[in-house]
Amino acid sequence: MSIMTYRQALRDTLGSEMRRDENVLLLGEEIGVFEGSYKITAGLLAEFGEKRVRDTPIAEEGFTGAAIGAAMLGLRPVVEIMTINFSLLALDQIVNHAAKIYGMFGGQARVPLVIRTPGGGGQQLGATHSQNIELYYAFVPGMKVVAPSNPADAKSLLLAAIRDDDPVLFLENLALYNMKGEVPDDDIPGEIGRAAVTRRGSDITVVAYSRMAAVALTVAERMAETDGVDIEVVDLRSLRPLDRETVVDSVRRTHCAVVVEDDWLTYGIGAEIAATISDGAFDWLDAPVRRVAMAEVPLPYAKTLETAALPSADDVTAAIRQTLASVGRRAGKDTP
């Protein structure tokens, strides 16, 4: 095991996969000479050259389309879109081409493409640069969407994404880049479509992904000390395919659930999880599923307003306490 940041785990994995397979190449805006807006590709141009680390014009539709064509011809492109917000400019290429080519061509062509892109708020980047719109892609059959919440998963799921024969949207939250954690030294890929129970518990299940999975784990550890509550945390890791079984099994054990997400509540990922729990664990529930999400507004620029709009650890704590209180389980002195 090595201790490293989320950013370093991504950078090292890209480098190791490029050394392992000469068909892996990188495309994106400012990923070469500038080494990427978030320095994920630092040092890779110097090692692999312009043929395999290609700076592109500011034309997301164009370079994403080029990557799809390259993938169909046997290469394994890893595209960096500077922010998931800019992926909207490539929506036609991603949704109408990358996701559908395998099915429309009867399996005669594959698209082993990875699209890495950061999202999320909290950085004062304004409403058009701070969105969590991974739902757009998780909605589409033919796409795979992963959202690692820690450095170890960032490595293992990026390995899996690069080696996968289908298009994968690899979601990175800006707030996670400096997170440190243990990362295995081996290059064993993770399993796309498999959630992780990051903390075992018996009182209530909290389901989350990406940044909020890390927040949920922090809340669970804190509430174990302050409130004596034993919280189970399920980190989805993969949004498509979705590991419904792990979620349902957890709720059947704990009988209560809170679903936490960074995007908007209406039509969000949490709605799908709540429906999954209703379908698979309704008879085991002691209380309605509670959801914690971002305020239904374009994210403000002003720091105080931005902070107020984003879901927080306090919001998660309140939802847990309210759920437990509704079934007569006391959770700390501040329980309503």
Catalytic residues: 60, 129
Phi/psi of residue 322, each to 5°?
-65, -40
Give the pairing type, strands 114-119 and 290-294: unpaired
How far is it, in rounded angstroms, from Cα 320 to Cα 216?
10
The single residue listed with the structure tokens 């992780």 is 196
How far is it, in rounded angstroms, from Cα 109 to Cα 167?
12
Contact 333, 303 (CB under 8 A): no
How far is it, in rounded angstroms, from Cα 49 to Cα 57?
18
How far is it, in rounded angstroms, from Cα 121 to Cα 99?
27
How far is it, in rounded angstroms, from Cα 79 to Cα 321?
42
Cis previous bond, 241, omega within 30: yes
- Cβ atoms < 10 Å from Cβ of 183: 23
Report the C-alpha dihedral over residues 36, 42, 45, 48, rounded to 10 degrees: -130
